[in-house]
Amino acid sequence: MSRRVGVIGHPVTHSISPRFQQAGFNAAGLDARYEAWDLEPGELQDFIDGLRRDDAFGANVTIPYKEAALRHMDGLHETARFVGAINTIVNNDGHLQGYNTDVTGFQRSLSEAGFDPSGKHAVLWGAGGAARAVAWGLIWRGVDSLTIINRTAVRGGRLRHDLASASAGARLRSMGADDEAVPAALRDADLVVQCTSIGLNGSETDGHLPFDPTWLSDHTFVADLIANPTETPLVKAARESGHQAIGGLPMLVYQGAAAFELWTEREAPVAIMLDEAAAAMSESES
């Protein structure tokens, strides 16, 4: 029986997940089709219920449904419960389990780049769903301090409050993007993670920088969660200034590989998936 799986979002026409996930299924010799499922908000519940059928592995979930989809799960992995959002649904004989593999995807992208956040000072730029996953991952990896900088200080403060219950000794603070303390916070950071859509290809902020990169210290490691373009304005500026910097493509593939393994109970062919994702991005940028 051919199995179906896909990515739920709105819009999802830009997603390269079907490309690299299908490459993974093909390499593993699995009879499965990975599709893009663009849903209107009113279609979400019925569609998710349809994933209980025998022919469905489950789904990935992307913007704007990561929080809404969580409410339709029969069970949640503890990571998804902490983060408050899911990006992966697994169909276990009609029982839908929600996971958040963004956490492990980000952690792996840091590890593969040779950066260990343990004992480090980290700054998150943004306080949305992606920032929540990154924040939990950094706390679980033992950061010494975590500063959340967001356009609106209230939202950043809400995330800081949520994290405080499990900060494991990490020092937490938050501030608005216009706070006079922002340059000093960035200058003191060992790691800065850009978690907003600023710089996203085709968006209103295409080509924009979230902050002045001259505020960074020479040793600061920069990570931008945006996968398109592969080299965002921030990553480009950071590299030109001598910083080690990574874009969001590795995290995208690693979180997808973790989902692949949850669906199939097989090791994901990560190298093949990375190559296919890079090829898809190269084609979209040419």
3-state class of 72 per DSSP?
Answer: coil
For the entire predicted model, the pTM comes to 0.93
Question: How far from 204 is each of 34, 51, 200, CA to CA, in Å?
Answer: 30, 35, 8
Q: Is the Cβ–Cβ distance between 235 and 246 less than 8 Å?
A: yes
pLDDT value of position 94:
98
What domains appear along the chain, each with residue ranges and CATH number?
A: 3-100+250-285 (3.40.50.10860), 116-243 (3.40.50.720)
Phi, psi of 139 (to 5 degrees): -65, -45
pLDDT value of position 63:
86
pLDDT value of position 202:
80
pLDDT value of position 17:
97
The torsion region of residue 29 among left (phi > 0), alpha (psi -120 to 50) and beta comes to left
Residue-level pLDDT, tens digit, the chain, 286 residues: 899 999 999 989 889 999 999 999 999 999 999 999 999 999 999 999 999 999 999 999 998 999 999 999 999 999 999 999 999 999 999 999 999 999 999 999 999 999 999 999 999 999 988 899 999 999 999 999 999 999 999 999 999 999 997 767 899 999 999 999 999 999 999 999 999 999 988 888 989 999 999 999 999 999 999 998 999 999 999 999 999 999 999 999 999 999 999 999 999 999 999 999 999 999 988 7
Angle at CA 28, nearest 5°, toward 24 and 33? 60
Question: How far from 172 is each of 51, 178, 183, CA to CA, in Å?
Answer: 39, 18, 17
Give the N- to C-terminal CA distance of the chain in Å, as an integer. 38
Say how many CA atoms lie within 13 Å of 222 toward its Cβ.
Answer: 31
Spot the catalytic one: 3, 4, 66, 108. Answer: 66
Q: Among this protein's residues, is 66 annotated catalytic?
A: yes
DSSP letter, residue 213: G
Q: Give the alpha-carbon dihedral of 220, 223, 229, 234, to 10 degrees.
A: -30
Q: Is the Cβ–Cβ distance between 10 and 40 less than 8 Å?
A: yes
